[in-house]
Amino acid sequence: MNDVTRPLDPLGDGLPVPADAPLRAAVTKGRLLQCSIAMFEAAGADCSALRKPGRRLILPVSLPGGPGFEVVLAKAPDVITYVERGACDLGIVGKDTILERGQSFYEVLDLGFGACRFMLAVREGEDFFGRMHHRTVASKYPLVTRQFFERRGMDVDIIHIEGSVELAPILGLADGIVDLVETGGTLRENGLHPIETVAEISARLIANVAAVKTKRGPVTRFIDLCREAVLCSPS
């Protein structure tokens, strides 16, 4: 289990959130949503609406003995936008998106689930660091990639690819890729192998800067609920 005691760390200004509005948490659709539902239920929440959303995008979650909250279903970069701008008080999003998209919010908790890695990967037999000519790297995460090579003092051309990044070295577009690796299966089945870890990734709970002040009670309760559920879950 990852460290879940990260303190609040102010990094920017969010817009004011009305104190009487219901607590809203934006959650990244897909695997992180399923893990989030399991976390909420471990904390005693009723997620029946969230388990059968149909086409609805805002779903109520009730908690025993207290006010519940609303879950907003969104794509990962939009979770950050909604939280940064105060449309949502809290958000659950991968560290990969946080690293690429900036941080005008509080990152309050490492939720542990959604664990994977950003890795630099190349074709089998490729001597990436040993080669003499200029290197080209493809990634869906150009900022993360640029910062990684800047830290190493390497001048690398970066090509922004939207998905299936593994294609780039296979088709001769790039010498390597920086991409998320979970099981390693996609790399293996496409003749690529990882040569260096760029960053460890997992889901994070984020909070709007203003909501932490104006909705301190409900926001703190939500954070505590998630922290306790994460601490109780098997690692």
Report the interface residues with ligand PRP, using CB under 6 A.
Answer: 140, 163-166, 179-186
**In this structure, what DSSP letter does residue 62 have?**
E
Cβ 166 to ligand PRP shortest distance, Å:
6
Q: In what order do the strands lie in the sheet with 156-160?
A: 156-160, 135-139, 176-181, 116-123, 192-201
196 neighbors 10 (Cβ within 8 angstroms): no
Cβ 230 to ligand PRP shortest distance, Å:
22
Q: Which is nearer to ligand PRP, 183 or 235 (CB)?
A: 183
Q: Which is nearer to ligand PRP, 164 or 220 (CB)?
A: 164
- Pairwise CA distance, residues 112 & 1, whole Å: 6
Burial of 105 (C-beta count, 10 Å sphere; 0-12/13-18/19+) = buried
Q: Which is nearer to ligand PRP, 70 or 78 (CB)?
A: 78
Cβ 30 to ligand PRP shortest distance, Å:
8
From residue 96, give the alpha-carbon distance in Å to each of 18, 84, 124, 174, 175.
30, 16, 25, 21, 22
Cβ 160 to ligand PRP shortest distance, Å:
13
Q: Which is nearer to ligand PRP, 28 or 208 (CB)?
A: 28
Q: Which is nearer to ligand PRP, 61 or 138 (CB)?
A: 138
Cβ 190 to ligand PRP shortest distance, Å:
9
110 neighbors 233 (Cβ within 8 angstroms): no
**Within its chain, how far is the Cα of 13 from the centroid?**
20
User: What residue is closest to ligand PRP based on CB?
Assistant: 163
